[in-house]
């Protein structure tokens, strides 16, 4: 299970987190401010967001095979809360990888640039042995997308291509918050199978079309 869930973040107070995702994450003059929808589940009260993440982690525990992996993106604000949800669901938390987004990210005057997002990863029980081990980097360097976005927090395909290598060849990757389907595109291009779910209709259709494009228009 590899997923980029709603972060439920933004600001420092509960009233800040409940603002629309576009008002929190998208510049007011961005071209897609008016064309792309908000993220479902991102504007919840913090306690409701924690419940959503706990349920997602419990679902991961239910569907993962023994030794299967859970990878979840998050920002620095809700990193501790997501760690708690993973632990509470019975997933063995293994560590944190870093997505280095590059110096094009927004700077903070007299402070540090918000240049990183995080990927919490764990397993359903012990890590399974595999015929050919993989040794993946703990810091993944890929620039954020600035043009042509079809989702307001769309991840670079190259980043997701790195992450899907955690799944054994021919395996299945599930994304319950698939957004515009970038995880699905990377998964299918790698020869693995993909299962995705998305509650926002426009993003669901975008994900379907992108995945169909990888498969040459085959029915999915």
Q: What integer pLDDT is reported at residue 148 of this predicted model? A: 86
DSSP string, 128-141: PP-SS-----SEEE
Q: What integer pLDDT is reported at residue 220 of this predicted model? A: 67
Q: Name the pTM for this structure.
A: 0.94
CA angle 141-113-46, nearest 5°? 95
Q: Which residues of the chain have pLDDT under 70?
A: 218-220
Q: What is the total residue count of the chain?
A: 220
CA dihedral 156, 123, 167, 100 (to 10 degrees): 20
Provide the CATH number for the domain formed by 2-214 in this structure. 3.40.50.150
**Number of other residues whose CB lies within 10 A of the CB of residue 157:** 16
Dist CA 124 CA 109 (whole Å): 42
User: Chain centroid to CA 31: how far?
Assistant: 23
Residue ranges covered by each domain of the chain: 2-214
Q: What integer pLDDT is reported at residue 218 of this predicted model? A: 67
């Amino acid at each position: 299970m590899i997923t980029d869930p709603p972060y439920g973040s933004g600001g420092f107070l509960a009233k800040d987190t409940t603002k629309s995702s576009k008002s929190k994450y998208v510049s007011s003059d961005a071209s897609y401010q008016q064309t792309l929808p908000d993220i479902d589940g991102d504007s919840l009260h913090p306690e409701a967001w924690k419940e959503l993440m706990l349920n997602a982690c419990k679902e991961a525990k239910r569907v993962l095979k023994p030794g299967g992996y859970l990878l979840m993106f998050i920002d620095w604000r809700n990193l501790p809360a997501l760690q708690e949800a993973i632990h509470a669901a019975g997933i063995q938390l293994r560590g944190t990888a870093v997505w280095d987004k590059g110096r094009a990210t927004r700077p903070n005057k007299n402070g540090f640039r918000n240049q990183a997002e995080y990927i919490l990863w764990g397993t359903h029980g012990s890590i399974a042995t595999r015929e050919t081990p993989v040794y993946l980097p703990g810091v993944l360097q890929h620039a954020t997308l600035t043009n042509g976005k079809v989702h307001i927090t769309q991840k670079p395909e190259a980043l997701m291509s790195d992450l899907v290598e955690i799944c054994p060849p021919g395996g299945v990757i599930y994304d319950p918050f698939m957004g515009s389907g970038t995880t699905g595109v990377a998964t299918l291009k790698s020869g693995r199978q993909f299962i995705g779910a998305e509650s926002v209709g426009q993003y669901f259709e975008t994900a379907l079309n992108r995945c169909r494009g990888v498969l040459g228009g085959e029915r999915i």
